[in-house]
Amino acid sequence: MKYSGWPEPGELVVGKIDEIEDFGVFVDLSEYEGKRGLIHVSEVASGWIKNIRDHVNEGQTVVCKVLEVDESAQQIDLSLKDVNDHQHSEKIQEWKNEQKADNWMELAFGEDVDDDKYAHVANEMLAEFGGLYSGFEQAAIHGPEALEDSDLTDEEVERIVDTARENVSVPYVKVTGYVDLESSAESGVDDIKEALQAAEGNGDIPEEVELEVTYVGAPEYRIRVKAPNYKTAESQLEESAARARSAIESVGGTGSFHRERQTEDE
């Protein structure tokens, strides 16, 4: 996707060098439709430059900092030397991610989707998440709820979510905790089984969360949670342990939660 507007001073932009002159370098901006910028020779590299072609090549992809924008003169002044290696790497990755998301838009709505519909959906994603990639990522993690505050139709949301879940590699975190469950009643074995089923959520776990309860060594059971972020993971872990404790205590047993293993047997 290419933006139809203008970049802002201070913004980092990706572009391809398409012309080199002694006084500077012309760059075709990859993220902005029909926009071209100039890197003055003094902004190509620090220090004195004997030959500008020792520093840049035609066809080279670069990350530049926007210095000034003069819309009336159709001029964008850029700097190459003001971008460090870390900024360059981060911006290139961001740009590549947005290219992926652009392809996902075509998968979701078809290559022949009309410009107005594309712009409507893209603008809603940009307004909500600041970028197409972030929008697809959140849709993959949270499903339709991620887009419930947007003005997208139910069909548009469904297409985005389906495409996101098929194509987005979601970052996850894992947390682990342990519960000790004990019951001296005749039905103790069954009581503990029910407590473990409660810990697993009885099928009522959010789609983006994976929760597993495994036996460690009596009376200890391990709870592993995989979720999109630590806040969700920790919350689900604590809720799982609380359900197990509540279930076992409701039938006269005892339960406790701890983060470290208490037994020697694996």
CATH number of 173-258: 3.30.70.1130
Average pLDDT value for residue range 149-166: 92
Average pLDDT value for residue range 188-214: 90
pLDDT digits (tens, 9 = 90+) for 127-157: 999 889 999 988 888 888 889 999 999 999 9
Average pLDDT value for residue range 189-194: 93
Q: Where in the chain is the domain with CATH 3.30.70.1130?
A: 173-258
What is the band of 231 on the pLDDT scale with cuts at 50, 70, 90? confident
Kindly report the pTM of this predicted structure: 0.63
Q: What architecture is domain 86-167?
A: Orthogonal Bundle (1.10)
Average pLDDT value for residue range 211-217: 92
Residue 240 has pLDDT above 70, yes or no: yes
pLDDT digits (tens, 9 = 90+) for 252-263: 999 999 987 665
% pLDDT > 90, the chain: 69
- What integer pLDDT is reported at residue 262 of this predicted model? 60
Average pLDDT value for residue range 173-183: 91
Q: Where in the chain is the domain with CATH 2.40.50.140?
A: 12-83
Q: Tell me the DSSP string of the chain.
A: --BSS-PPTT-EEEEEEEEEETTEEEEEETTBTT-EEEEEGGGTSSS--S-GGGT--TT-EEEEEEEEEETTTTEEEEESTT--HHHHHHHHHHHHHHHHHHHHHHHHH-TT--HHHHHHHHHHHHHHHSSHHHHHHHHHHHGGGGGTTSS--HHHHHHHHHHHHHH-----EEEEEEEEEE--STTHHHHHHHHHHHHTTTT---TT-EEEEEEEETTEEEEEEEESSHHHHHHHHHHHHHHHHHHHHTTT-EEEEESS---S--
User: Torsion over CA of 241, 247, 253 and 254, rounded to 10 degrees?
Assistant: 20
Q: What architecture is domain 12-83?
A: Beta Barrel (2.40)
- What integer pLDDT is reported at residue 188 of this predicted model? 87
Q: Where in the chain is the domain with CATH 1.10.150.190?
A: 86-167
